[in-house]
Structures are given as C-alpha cells and as structure tokens.
Amino acid sequence: MQHSSLWQWLDERIGLAEMENLAKKKEVPVHRHTIWYYFGGMTLFLFLVQVATGMLLLFYYRPSAEEAYESIQFLMTEVQFGWLIRSLHAWAANLMIFMLFVHLFSVLFLKAYRPPRELTWYTGVVLLGVALAFGFTGYLLPWNTLAYVATRVGTEIVAVVPVVEPFFLRILRGGQEVTGATLTRFFAIHVAILPMLTVLCLVLHLFLVQKHGMSVPRGVEQRGGQHAPCPSCRISCCTTS
C-alpha cells in the first residue's frame, strides 16, 4: 500500500505502521452474542460527543450564581445552534449512562470478568462511578430551581454517612447549604477533576482490553469456536485460530 510522504514522515517518528497493523488485527468475536460487544464502543463514542459538546459549551457558560442561568438562556436563545449543542450534550449524557449500564450487564451476562480480565472489570466499574458523578455534578450547572432542589436532596445523602458526614457535606457544598460556592465546586469537579480521572481510567481500561483481547463466552470456548452456530445443528461448526 502506497502512503504519502507525510504518512511516512510520521511513521518514522510515532510508528503509524504498528498502529495500522494493530487496527487490522482487531476483530469482534462472531457468535450469537456478538451484538453485546458493540455497547462498549458506543459508550466511548457518546463520551467523545460529551467532550466535544462540553468544550463548545464552555465558551458561553459562566459558573457563578449570578450569571449561570442567564448564560444558559443566552446560549439557548441567542447563540446560533446553541440549543442544538446543549441538547446533544444532555441527550448524549443520558444515552451514555444507558449504554454504560448495558455494557456492564453484558459483561456480567457473558462472564467477561473471568481471569485474567479482573482489572478490566474493576476499571469499568470505576468508570461507571465517574460517569454517574459527571451526571450529578452537571445537573446543578444550569442553576435553576429543579437543579437546586435536586442537588440539595442529593447532597443530603452524605448526611447519613457516619463520622465523616459534616466533613463530606462541607466539601461538596462549600458550606452548610447549597450556594454559589457549591456551583463553583461542582463546575470545577465537572470540567477538571472528573475528566482527569476519566482519562486515567479509560486509558488503563482500553490498554487492558487491547492486552487481553475480548472475552468469549464460556460455552463458545468449550465448543472451540467463536462463530455463530449453524441453524441446522445449533452448534459451532467453525473455529478460529
């Protein structure tokens, strides 16, 4: 395959040929459970949509109690396609959580957490927790009545934690009540701390997936194949190297 001089220049410095060979080797196991293998990629795609739309929203959002709500209204009514970007961000967040739960249960269903993939499972569970934290911290950012009440109720859950309740509540709220300080803290967590944790966990998660490959259900492994069962005999008649 002929490549441009730019490709060759980059290949000498970052190894594009190795990445190309790695991409060619990647295959989704083919059997009657194949559809479940796509939900992890869908979750990653929706996360990238979140990153792209979130960066665009940052150009107009102002994280203060006096200006947050007004900046959202300006974005929705005055900025060209602002309503579309915010809607994409909101709906992609809901879909990402849905896909993440489907991916989680598919891993349970296929028993893909079996050795040596325990760490892959653990990092996935951590990513689920981080995604839920994204949703919780992002809910307050419009700074409307619904967001205020929901955050107040949500942070009250911390009050049932023994011993550390006052400390955790002050950390989340920046005081005893939900105020502008809470909004500032949630914004910092949403756009700085959680993205950093997500990148670290996601890189490790994807590395482990690449290292160990995709798990095949135990029943398919016992039959010695990855392909879909033949309609006539209902067993796997093909094997893969």
Q: Give the pLDDT confidence of 128-179 residue by residue, as tens digits.
A: 999 999 999 999 999 999 999 999 999 888 777 777 677 888 888 988 899 9
Q: How far apart are CA 138 and CA 108, in angstroms?
A: 29
Stated pTM of the model = 0.84
Could you identify the residue written with the tokens 């080797």? 25
Q: Where are the domains of the chain?
A: 33-211
Q: Give the pLDDT confidence of 48-73 residue by residue, as tens digits.
A: 999 999 999 999 999 999 999 999 99
Position 236 confidence tier, pLDDT thresholds 50, 70, 90:
very low
Task: Tally Cβ neighbours within 10 Å of residue 1.
Answer: 4
> Residue 82: pLDDT above 90?
yes
Burial grade of 97 (CB within 10 A; 0-12, 13-18, 19 or more): middle
Task: Tally Cβ neighbours within 10 Å of residue 101.
Answer: 14
Q: Give the pLDDT confidence of 185-212 residue by residue, as tens digits.
A: 999 999 999 999 999 999 999 999 988 8
Which CATH code is given to the segment(s) 33-211? 1.20.810.10
- pLDDT greater at residue 33 or residue 79: 79
